[in-house]
Structure 1
Amino acid sequence: MSEIHEVALKAAGYDYALRIYPAAEPNGSMLVWLHGGAFMFGTLDMPEADQVGRRLSAAGITVASVDYTLAPLDALDRLSPPDSDADFPSPEQLRAEADAAGPRARFPVASLQIVAAFDWAVDNAVRYGADPARVALGGASAGANLSAGAAMRLRDRATSLPSVLGLVYPSLHDGIVPANDELRALLRDVPPARIFTPEARAAINRNYLPDAGDPEGYAFPGGRNLVGLPPVLIVNAELDSLRASGEAFAAELATASVDVHVVRQRGAMHGYLNEVGHPAAERTLALLTDAVTQDYRER
């Protein structure tokens, strides 16, 4: 099998790339994977992207990690809380790291690119030892949102659907879903820099979708028509203000008669896939491996 390599694509008027992690010993499955980063940040080299590609390919799954076009940085100055801890990068640091990202664009560019990336994976699955009917789709945080929106586009197009959706600490609604008493109590001990406030979430979402116009629900699938989606794995971080969105989405999927498996990673905060070796990251990689490898058609 070939080594890790990149494939150049173009969709929605923008060039982008896939980094392909060929399976060491293919088990017939493939995953199109999307990193997070508030729609504005993230690279293929961050652990949330690279670790997933390396670990799942070692388990027999070819991974296509998508270097989708990022949104502009207009909301950046509103994201760092005034009392953030020393580990949280400043807006200046984040801006410097993001300067190399190239051209930027808002919704629907990344959403359309992910559909094209999924189509490429289906068309090329056989060359990587995968079944075109066993191509999964998933992501973390904003990447999970993008995955769910792309799955809705694919459903509405009525062609190939992902075999399964894997959504890790997702943000799926336009705004913060209110936390229950249990989650509010847990968040009191979380550093402010690790919490998404309603104000920060609004800044991120309006930066991605300025006019809040989302009639089909492709930008923010939460609360929309979810009937006909493929089976879904949702993995939430326990100490995450976005956990309520993942839990609400799981309930919405169940109401829509979509098979859903929802897991809470105890003691974990948002973004834990970027901490290599974190126990929650190890458990989540195992859950993703199992979900992508299984053939739900035979259940």
Structure 2
Amino acid sequence: MDTPNWPEAFTKFGLQDPLEPARAAPRMREALLAATPHMDVRPPDLAEVRDLMVPGAEGERCARLYRPNGADEAGPCTFYMHGGGYVVGDLESHDRLCRRLAAKSGHRVLAIDYRLAPEHVWPAGVEDCLAAFDWLCGPGAETVGALPDRIAVAGDSAGGGLAAILAQSRRDRICFQLLIYPLLQLVERRKPRPKLLEGHLLSSFTLDQIVRAYLSDADQASELTVSPLLNNDLAGLPPAHIVAAELDPLLDEGQAYRDRLAAAGIPVSYKTGKGLPHGYFNLTAILPGAKGLVDETALVLGDGLRG
């Protein structure tokens, strides 16, 4: 199938690719927010959606708690990190996705609004996520209603990479990891791939722009908190579920991480969205089959949280 063109909200800002050079980042964020309601179906109702402030690496960060109907006073919780190449995305761009994950998994989701490039280069975003996660596992558990021993990490694209980084950094505190078409390395961006994978939603050009915006030095791409795929110490990681997109430049690295986890003895399941491009979890209104795969993934997440 053909990948969809960017909606009018993007083109009116003169954006042909969702991650043009870093100077366009503020315009891209505005365009993404304007386009989001038109690309995603309405999510299920929840018992509570509440904004709160949580610790970041430097000051507080905005976060959003999603509590589904029927959730216990205290229960499992998913710590969610949005995608967007470390440059775009926020709580609003992934609000509907987080609502659906909470409703269908049956458990709370806490989404974090970490700092973005180019204003805040690596490792600012990683450090924000680590600080907020540590708070969730400690004093924040009561505030959120989370069981500290039943916390999962999850994210899509760059957020999937952040989830993998947290799972490696805090492996003894995490019960499950959900990686949605994760961006797991920024070292190799120009490997040969079929033309059909160079779509509107992600391309080699986009990955190059991510490096320009996110890293102050391209050599930092080999750091394990940039490219968790390169980590050779995978022992003791939590069980994982990796969701892929067939029409995605990141398809190979998701498969590679699946195989490496399995070789290390980590329980890992894997699902491919056939005929779907990178980003389809946020495109349920315009891509047939996407909503069903999101719901299916949320059920897997719920099982992982229950253990």
- The yes-or-no answer on 1:148 pairing with 2:164 is yes
Select which of 223, 227, 230 maps to 1:220. Answer: 227
Structure 1's 228 and 200: CA in aligned 2 closer, same or farther, altered over 3 A?
same
Query: What pairs with 1:1-299 in structure 2 (closer than 5 Å)?
Result: 3-26=48-71, 28-46=75-93, 49-59=94-104, 60-72=106-118, 104-123=119-138, 124-126=140-142, 128-155=144-171, 160-176=172-188, 184=194, 187-188=195-196, 192-197=199-204, 199-211=205-217, 212-213=219-220, 217-225=224-232, 226-277=234-285, 278=287, 279-294=289-304
Structure 1's 130 and 195: CA in aligned 2 closer, same or farther, altered over 3 A?
closer
Alpha-carbon contact 2:90-2:113 (below 8 Å) kept: yes
Alpha-carbon contact 2:179-2:240 (below 8 Å) kept: yes
Identity of aligned residues (%): 31
Comparing 37-46 with 54-63, greater Cα deviation is found at 54-63
CA distance in 2, matches of 1:20, 1:106: 26
CA distance in 1, matches of 2:222, 2:281: 32
Q: Pairwise CA RMSD of aligned residues?
A: 2.5
Q: Report SS of the residue matched to 1:149.
A: helix
Q: TM-score with structure 1 length normalisation? A: 0.76
Aligned residue type for 1:164: F
Aligned residue type for 1:282: G
Alpha-carbon contact 2:247-2:276 (below 8 Å) kept: yes
Structure 1's 294 and 171: CA in aligned 2 closer, same or farther, altered over 3 A?
closer
Alpha-carbon contact 1:152-1:218 (below 8 Å) kept: no
CA distance in 1, matches of 2:191, 2:86: 23
Aligned residue type for 2:153: L
**Structure 2 gap segments, 5+ residues each:** 1-45
CA distance in 1, matches of 2:65, 2:167: 20
Q: TM-score with structure 2 length normalisation? A: 0.74
What is the number of residues matched between the two proteins? 254
